[in-house]
Amino acid sequence: MSTLGWKGIRVRHRDGRTGVICGESPTFSYAQLEICVDGGGRAFVQLNVNGPDAGEPGWEWWCENVNGGARWLDLGDHNRAEPVA
């Protein structure tokens, strides 16, 4: 059973890997998401309430219910490029 609703969500990485969120560990101030990579391996992304998100950047998740239609969205704010000064 998914406590936060992330388990089972399809994901992809900028390097071409794909997978599914297979685990979620909620706490008071963050949620750690475990990604089961297709073909083997694991990756982790941590969504923090306070401060920037952590874990492996470059992951996106498939959001089926978003204004403007289904699309890939960044999984965590640490995926964003730094602004150019």
Taking the C-alpha atoms of residue 10 and residue 74, their distance in angstroms, rounded to an integer, is 12
Q: For 47-78, how does the pLDDT look when each residue is reduced to its tens digit (9 = 90+)?
A: 999 889 999 999 999 998 888 889 999 999 88
Taking the C-alpha atoms of residue 83 and residue 58, their distance in angstroms, rounded to an integer, is 17
Higher pLDDT, 7 or 26: 7
pTM higher than the cut 0.75: yes
Mean pLDDT computed over every residue of the chain? 89
